[in-house]
Amino acid sequence: MASTISAATLTVKLTENIILNGIQQGGTNTKTFASINEISKRIMTITTNESTVATFSGAVASAGHFNDSAVKYMRFTNYDDTNFITLTFRNQDNDEVAIKIDAGQSFIWNSDNDGGAVAIFNATEDADAASDTALGSLTNVQADASSGTCDLEVFIAST
């Protein structure tokens, strides 16, 4: 059976709007992602115990698991009005980067234009290793709330 879904272009528009001393100081930036044919959008309840938000590898294996080379855009929005969420991104080398998303804020993880989430980041605490440019492929994203529970919206677009 052939799919009846036609790929489309995702348009992401970031707009800052602020007038200081009568002069517009904001701006708008637009990025398009062609041939998007898969969208995953969900709201998850995040607790103080680290939870897996998404996993990535060379093929789609199950719900919440994405083909790393096909992922083009990810947005994470904290809908809590008080508490923050920490997102931890890990690659195949077990390098990690943790990002704080405060109450009401969003974080966008941009994938490589051609390679998706393959070979996109390296993280280290060792200053000497900082010059190591071997970029790793994203393997998973974990989340935990600072206290209580928080609602996290996850939006992932793939080709």
Q: Where on the phi/psi map is residue 155: left (φ > 0), alpha (ψ -120 to 50), or beta?
A: beta
Amino acid symbol at 74: M
User: Which residues of the chain have a pLDDT value below 70?
Assistant: 1, 125-133
pLDDT of residue 122: 86
The 8-class DSSP code of residue 22 comes to T
What CATH topology corresponds to 38-158?
Jelly Rolls (2.60.120)
Place of tokens 């992602």: 33
Give residue limits of the domains in the chain.
38-158
pLDDT of residue 129: 56
pLDDT of residue 132: 62
Asked if residues 103 and 81 have their Cβ atoms less than 8 Å apart, the reply is yes
